[in-house]
């Protein structure tokens, strides 16, 4: 029995390394492609597929396939997407902004992939803080991490025409709104009954931080 457990552990470790290598390759190639003006348009068209591929890889390593997991996934998607709808059409929550064509197919002027982004980012940050016993404190940390990543992402997103702000100013309301909506989604994550640990979550979150930090130096004018 010990031999079997040891073999299974080595197999899992190998699978995790494969996943990490794929994530590094995706983001290194993406960072280079977006940083080079002659290839930027091509890589911008691939942006939605890059995010979908990342989500797919995360789901491959997800272990908590209970009935509660798809409910959380749908909640994260539609709460995030719905908040963007409110933001786009009213200016509440985040401020006055519009989406560009970079993120692909839109529904009511909001790219559908934005809902995917809310799900993935909520999943990653929730998994990172899953060992914290207090739901409210863990949700606070998760929402803080999501807002911090948005702060790093914003200049890159504007430069690459993901979205554009009125008067080209990113308002404080954007970060306050992000924190509030993120906190709500994090609470739902905490209350949902499924396995919260994913071996790729912390690694991918760190990659995203590095990815957007690099792009702040290579694409932001």
Find all residues with CB under 8 Å of 73, minimum gap 6, and list them.
119
The answer to whether the CB of 114 falls within 8 A of the CB of 103 is yes
Rounded Cα distance between 160 and 210, Å, is 17
Structure tokens given for 61:
């390593």
Cα dist from 175 to 15, 45, 87, 94, 146, whole Å? 36, 27, 12, 7, 10
Give the residue among 94, 78, 1, 34 at the shortest CA–CA distance from 215. Answer: 34
- Per residue in 150-172, pLDDT (tens digit) is 999 999 999 998 899 988 888 99
46 backbone dihedrals φ, ψ, rounded to 5°? -85, -5
Domain extent listing, the chain: 2-218
Tell me which residues of the chain have a pLDDT lower than 70. Answer: 1-9
Evaluate the CA torsion angle 94, 97, 100, 106 in order and state its sign.
positive
pTM: 0.89
Residue 42's pLDDT is 92
Query: How crowded is residue 44: how many other Cβ atoms within 10 Å of its Cβ?
Result: 18
């Amino acid at each position: 029995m010990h031999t079997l457990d040891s073999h299974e552990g080595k197999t899992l470790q190998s699978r995790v390394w494969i996943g990490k290598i794929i994530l590094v390759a995706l983001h290194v190639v993406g960072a280079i492609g977006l940083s080079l003006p002659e290839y930027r348009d091509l890589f911008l068209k691939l942006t939605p597929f890059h995010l979908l591929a990342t989500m797919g890889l995360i789901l491959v390593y997800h272990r908590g396939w209970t009935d509660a997991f798809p409910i959380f996934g749908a909640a994260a998607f539609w709460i995030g997407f719905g908040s963007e709808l409110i933001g786009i059409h009213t200016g509440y929550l985040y401020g006055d902004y519009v989406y560009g064509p970079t993120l692909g197919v839109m529904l009511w002027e909001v790219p559908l992939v934005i809902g995917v982004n809310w799900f993935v980012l909520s999943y990653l940050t929730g998994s990172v803080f899953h060992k914290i016993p207090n739901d409210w404190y863990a949700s606070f940390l998760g929402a803080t991490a999501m807002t911090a990543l948005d702060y790093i992402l914003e200049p890159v997103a504007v430069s690459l025409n993901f979205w554009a702000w009125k008067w080209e100013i990113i308002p404080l309301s954007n970060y306050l709104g992000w924190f509030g909506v993120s906190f709500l989604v994090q609470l739902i994550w905490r209350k949902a009954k499924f396995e919260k640990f994913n071996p790729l979550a912390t690694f991918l979150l760190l990659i995203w931080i590095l990815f957007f930090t690099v792009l702040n130096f290579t694409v932001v004018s």
